Chains A and B, each alone.
Chain A
């Protein structure tokens, strides 16, 4: 990939806001979601789930269920051959328990029957003999010696004395001399924080339809963020060759990272293999909450030193995350991103993961970063309060910039942090007056952004229209953005381009839609595929004109002679070239395959005003503004949508959302009634300010924008609430009982 040093191009279509291509289908109900697929002879699959947080499975008797009229197959852990590899084995064990149920809701058996009612009745006939074991839910408790061990034999090899076998990993990042840094500080603040596990909260529950033939070939339709990943994981678990399993991604009703793994797909395939018929499984909402990926929950200590004039002299953080009942690497991301917004001489972060009897963590927008940055940005805010300093000035003074050695190692290239901070400072929101019981908070946010394996094919139809075939489910408007970039490059109107998301047999491997990678990587590949098609069109026209391919050039959607010496030919448009292509060598297609790098890190700043009711502890969000660097906003509506959506999910996380467990280790709120995502009337209009500091790693300067916006809200709101209430809050969510308690404790 050549580095684009200057992106000075004047765009014609990129940056406009055409109607979304999926809009009509979604509002009219024509869109096919995961649960919409059916097949002749289809059976209904249902999953039996553990009612215990932790239990040994002594035996499972499925005979009565199998004998029930209409039941065609029953599977348990015994029907799966476990993969050797730890990663795949954990996914398999999470999909179907082996000898132990590791959390409330863990799948222990599944049936396929002729109707949902029969399948439901059959579940009741399965007899599972459990030996209930002690459980552990809290990460700090889980790390202590003597805690119930969730999975023996998974401990980190160098677990220190005094820590439990539940500890599965440790990491450390940073540079400089901490002791010397803290010695230079005028004020040091040290605080401990806790954040609850939250769920991605997508509207569409997981759903799939699996059909395996007697020859062992299979088709799978499912809602996923990554059909290729589903194929690989399922093939591994089912012992199939990848090419024998074709996976088609449905339209998706939200994912936010939570659909980057599998839960029911291998089960449906196993049932279909056993029954010899297609099997559909659709999760109920309570299953989604109990058995699919929430985030980690965390316990974090942060210590930061600052001089009287606001320079940070040293920063240290200890992060303890739990990704549920399996080893989990998310803490690494937290430990890397905690201090990413700052240019520091002395910084160190230490991360630990410990297993608890909770569902296996799944990614959620910028996994691991919101928790760590919440803790750091809270302490920075408190230092500003203690020293009477303006919190934006302090961020500007300490901001990471081009050339800063980041707290996690690499040296930053062009980044947009300073520009977003300055935009926030200049915005009227920052100086608007506040009333009684109101407070203003802010926070920086950061995400790495990723590129990854990507394939794009671009086909020209004979009528001069273009289809782009790509392999990444569209969770945030990527089809529109990809079409825009291709139309821009080809010089044809946006509505002549249609982008489709293909199944795993129709295009080469594409990594999951995650890491804010799609508009960046697939966009890049689409531009390069267009360039490939353009080169082929030039060659075709040169052949028609009987001149050297070097003597033609591509301009404004047509091939022209490159100069007076090339000869006098009227330009040939893309449509003309496509129309004549059968007679000039056949159909024309462009391709590009890449493992993209250069994604370019992303920064944002959020500003929020809240009012806290001192008598009830209720928080009202009054005003909210998001500032973010998008590199280049290809379709600004979608960029704003990402910024607003991230802010809203962060507001929920900050104020009300949490996994609540009873003494018995069972999840008490597996539904949207008591798992409180914000409703529309809870929210103000989320204002957005897009900055465009081009990413040198992309032909049009694009950076991913999907994850960064969920990072700042936690601290921004906590800082606003703490200032409004006059007391520092250190635990999320800041539900009204917690705020009222903090207010009363302060007297």
Chain B
């Protein structure tokens, strides 16, 4: 196995392009190294992106934030401005594993590992985040929602990797929230999850709403009908029930060791309701 630690994205792209066997990016390694240990992943080339200039930075851009692909979840939690603007995204990232895991884990790794249960992904999708992708043909920007392609799969082309995420600027009276269900209180994989991103009108009603669900389908689901159920409301009971129903209808989960179809579907609706109420309160709304 060959291990490389390039200094620039261009060099990383060149290494990936020139790989003769299976090649993998290494960010925090909290998925990759576990998989290598278990013999599930046997890469011939590992490209560590943690030394690439700028990839470990969070910087202001166009009123929003650019987050490098090698920024750890713990570093996100310590960034006050980011946590104030996008508390739901930060809480998703800070639910991953444990304190130790968060010190290494990245959102890019979480996304590119391709788990339908990835905790930071619903928040990114609800936020309308984009990823900057570097590849043999240069750079392109792509909505995060379009990257997952099914369990363990992404739409990234051979040689491509995520260099950063962009989170747009926030109007006043906007916030988000993320909740997941796990049988324990930490160190677990989401059985169902929901992210809700709201912008309120001046009168306190919901002006814009985006709802994304995790672990209830082969990929994260952006549920338009769920967002629509909230627009124009103040999260009255019938709006919340319409939200929950839209979420349940959007679920196409599997029965497995972590949960049943019935359980995941029901709980996705419950989590969406609870997350909507949290996001609404954070945005300054009063029910």
Residues of A within 8 A of B (CB): 120, 286, 615-618, 655-656, 660, 668-669, 672-674, 676, 678-679, 681-682, 735-737, 740-741, 744
In the complex, chain A residues whose CB is within 8 Å of the CB of B260: 737, 741
**Can you pick out 25 interface pairs between chain A and chain B where the beta carbons lie within 8 Å of each other?**
A615-B267, A616-B181, A616-B270, A618-B181, A618-B183, A656-B183, A656-B184, A668-B257, A674-B258, A676-B188, A678-B184, A679-B185, A679-B187, A681-B184, A681-B185, A681-B186, A682-B185, A736-B191, A736-B259, A736-B267, A737-B259, A740-B263, A740-B267, A741-B262, A744-B266
A682 to chain B, nearest CB (A): 5
B190 located at the interface, meaning its Cβ lies under 8 Å from any Cβ of chain A in the complex: no
In the complex, chain B residues whose CB is within 8 Å of the CB of A672: 187
Give A681 to B182 CA distance when docked, in angstroms. Answer: 13
Partner of A617, one of B186, B189, B258, B263: B263
A27 to chain B, nearest CB (A): 18
- Are the CB atoms of B270 and A673 closer together than 8 Å? no
- Are the CB atoms of B257 and A669 closer together than 8 Å? yes
B212 to chain A, nearest CB (A): 19
- Are the CB atoms of B257 and A674 closer together than 8 Å? yes
A196 to chain B, nearest CB (A): 12
In the complex, chain B residues whose CB is within 8 Å of the CB of A616: 181, 267, 270
- Are the CB atoms of B263 and A615 closer together than 8 Å? no
B3 to chain A, nearest CB (A): 16
B61 to chain A, nearest CB (A): 36
The chain A residue sitting closest to B39, CB to CB, is: A120
Give A660 to B259 CA distance when docked, in angstroms. Answer: 12
CB proximity to A under 8 Å, residues B33-58: 38-39
In the complex, chain B residues whose CB is within 8 Å of the CB of A678: 184
Q: Known contacts being A616-B270, A674-B257, is A736 close to B263, with CB within 8 Å?
A: yes
In the complex, chain B residues whose CB is within 8 Å of the CB of A617: 263
In the complex, chain B residues whose CB is within 8 Å of the CB of A735: 183
Give A655 to B182 CA distance when docked, in angstroms. Answer: 13
The chain B residue sitting closest to A660, CB to CB, is: B257
The chain A residue sitting closest to B97, CB to CB, is: A673
Residue among B186, B188, B267 with the highest chain A CB neighbour number at 10 A: B267
B contact residues, range: 20 to 34
- Are the CB atoms of A736 and B188 closer together than 8 Å? no
In the complex, chain B residues whose CB is within 8 Å of the CB of A669: 257
A614 to chain B, nearest CB (A): 10
The chain B residue sitting closest to A675, CB to CB, is: B257
In the complex, chain A residues whose CB is within 8 Å of the CB of B256: 668
Interface string of B2-41 (1 = CB under 8 A from A): 0000000000000000000000000000000000001100
- Are the CB atoms of A682 and B188 closer together than 8 Å? no
A570 to chain B, nearest CB (A): 62
If A616-B181, A668-B256 are given as contacts, then 8 extra A-B residue pairs at C-beta distance below 8 Å, sorted by A number, are: A615-B270, A618-B183, A672-B187, A674-B258, A676-B183, A679-B184, A736-B263, A740-B262
Give A673 to B35 CA distance when docked, in angstroms. Answer: 13
Residue among A655, A669, A736, A741 with the highest chain B CB neighbour number at 10 A: A736
B243 to chain A, nearest CB (A): 14
In the complex, chain B residues whose CB is within 8 Å of the CB of A681: 184-186
Give A740 to B187 CA distance when docked, in angstroms. Answer: 22
The chain A residue sitting closest to B271, CB to CB, is: A616
A746 to chain B, nearest CB (A): 15
In the complex, chain B residues whose CB is within 8 Å of the CB of A682: 184-185
In the complex, chain B residues whose CB is within 8 Å of the CB of A741: 260, 262-263
A616 to chain B, nearest CB (A): 5
In the complex, chain A residues whose CB is within 8 Å of the CB of B257: 660, 668-669, 674
Q: Known contacts being A668-B257, A676-B188, A681-B186, is A736 close to B266, with CB within 8 Å?
A: no
Give A617 to B262 CA distance when docked, in angstroms. Answer: 12
- Are the CB atoms of B189 and A673 closer together than 8 Å? yes
Give A682 to B187 CA distance when docked, in angstroms. Answer: 11
In the complex, chain B residues whose CB is within 8 Å of the CB of A615: 266-267, 270
Interface string of B171-197 (1 = CB under 8 A from A): 000000000010111111101000000
Partner of A673, one of B188, B191, B263: B188
CB proximity to A under 8 Å, residues B178-226: 181, 183-189, 191
